[in-house]
Amino acid sequence: MEKNKVGINQLALMYLLAIAGGKFLNLPSILAKDVGHDSWLTLLFGFVFDAVCLTFLLWAIKLNQKKQLDLSTILDKTVSKVVSKIIMVLFFVIFIIRTNILLASCYKLFAVTFDVSTNWIVYALPIAAIGFLAVQLGFNSIARTSQLLFGIIFLAVLVLILSPVTQVEFTSLLPIGEAGFGKIVGTFFKRSFWFSDYLFIYFVFDSIKVKNNRVFLPILSAFAVGAVMTIAMNAIFVSLYGSLSQDIELALSKIGVYFVSNSSNGRWDWITLSVWLISVFLKIMVFIYCAYKCLEKLFEFKSAKLNVYAVIFITLTLMLPMFVSTDMLLSTVVAWGMIPFCIVQYLLPISMPFLTKLANSKLEKSV
Partner 1 sequence: MKENNLQKFLAIYSGDDDVRIREVSCGIELTVVCLDTMCDDKKVSSYVLQPLVYAEGATDISAVKTTLMAGAVVSKTVNLQSAIEDFVNGYTLVWDSKGNCLSVDTRTTIGRAVAEPPTSMVLRGPREGFVEDLKVNITLLRKRLKTTSFKAININVGKYTNTAVSICYIDGIADQTIVEKITQQLQAIDTDAILDSSYLARYLDTNKTILFRRVGITEKPDIAVAKMIEGRVAIVVDGSPMVLTLPYLFVEDMQSPGDYYENSSITVFGRILRFVSVLASVLLPSLYVCLQVYNYQIIPLKFLITIMNASEAIPFSPLAEMLLVLIIFDILREANLRMPSAVGISLSLVGAIVLGDAAVKAGLLGAPAVMIGALSGIGLFTLPDNTLVMSLMRLIVTFLGGVMGLLGVTLATIVTLLYLASLQNNKTPFLAPFAPNIPNDRQDAIGQKPVPDMDKRPESIPNENKTRRG
180 phi and psi angles, rounded to 5 deg:
100, 140
CB atoms inside a 10 Å sphere around CB 169: 10
Interface with partner 1, residue 264, by CB under 8 A? yes
- Measured at the CA of 267, the angle between CA 265 and CA 271, to 5 degrees, comes to 125
**Closest listed residue to residue 54, CA positions, set 15, 83, 85:** 15
Q: How far is the CB of 187 from partner 1 (least distance, A)?
A: 33
Q: How far is the CB of 137 from partner 1 (least distance, A)?
A: 4
**DSSP classification of residue 115:** -
Nearer to partner 1, 88 or 285 (CB): 285
Q: Please give the span between the terminal C-alpha atoms of the chain, in angstroms, as a whole number.
A: 23
Interface with partner 1, residue 271, by CB under 8 A? yes
Q: How far is the CB of 79 from partner 1 (least distance, A)?
A: 35
- Stretch of 2-10, 180-188, 294-302, 326-334 lying at the interface with partner 1 (CB under 8 A): 2-10
Interface with partner 1, residue 120, by CB under 8 A? no
**Options 177, 180, 242, 266; binder of partner 1; rule CB under 8 A:** 266
Interface with partner 1, residue 16, by CB under 8 A? no
Q: How does DSSP assign 290-354, residue by residue?
A: HHHHHHHHHHT---SSPPHHHHHHHHHHTTGGGTS-HHHHIIIIIHHHHHHHHIIIIIHHHHHHH
**Options 119, 166, 263, 366; binder of partner 1; rule CB under 8 A:** 263
Q: How many residues does the chain have?
A: 367
d(CA 160, CA 218): 25
Nearer to partner 1, 138 or 349 (CB): 138
Nearer to partner 1, 12 or 231 (CB): 12
Q: How far is the CB of 11 from partner 1 (least distance, A)?
A: 12
Q: How far is the CB of 260 from partner 1 (least distance, A)?
A: 10
Interface with partner 1, residue 51, by CB under 8 A? no
Q: How far is the CB of 303 from partner 1 (least distance, A)?
A: 18
**Options 126, 177, 180, 242; binder of partner 1; rule CB under 8 A:** 126
Nearer to partner 1, 118 or 243 (CB): 118
Secondary structure of residue 7 in the 3-state scheme:
strand
Q: How far is the CB of 287 from partner 1 (least distance, A)?
A: 15
Question: Which residues lie below 8 Å from residue 313, measured CB to CB, with a gap of 6+?
Answer: 295
H-state helical runs in the chain: 8-22, 27-35, 39-63, 71-79, 81-108, 120-137, 139-162, 181-190, 216-241, 251-255, 269-299, 308-317, 326-329, 335-342, 348-366
**Options 114, 120, 299, 313; binder of partner 1; rule CB under 8 A:** 114
**Options 52, 121, 133, 176; binder of partner 1; rule CB under 8 A:** 133
Cα–Cα distances (Å) from 228 to 8, 44, 232, in that order, read 21, 9, 6
**Options 96, 127, 219, 330; binder of partner 1; rule CB under 8 A:** 127
Helix (H) or strand (E) holding 6: strand 6-7
Nearer to partner 1, 157 or 173 (CB): 157
Nearer to partner 1, 61 or 135 (CB): 135
Interface with partner 1, residue 3, by CB under 8 A? yes
Interface with partner 1, residue 111, by CB under 8 A? no
**Options 140, 207, 234, 253; binder of partner 1; rule CB under 8 A:** 140
Secondary structure of residue 5 in the 3-state scheme:
coil
Which residue ranges make up the site for partner 1 (CB under 8 A)? Answer: 3, 7, 9-10, 110, 114-116, 118, 123, 126-127, 130, 133-134, 137-138, 140-142, 144-145, 147-149, 263-268, 270-271, 274, 277-278, 281-282, 285
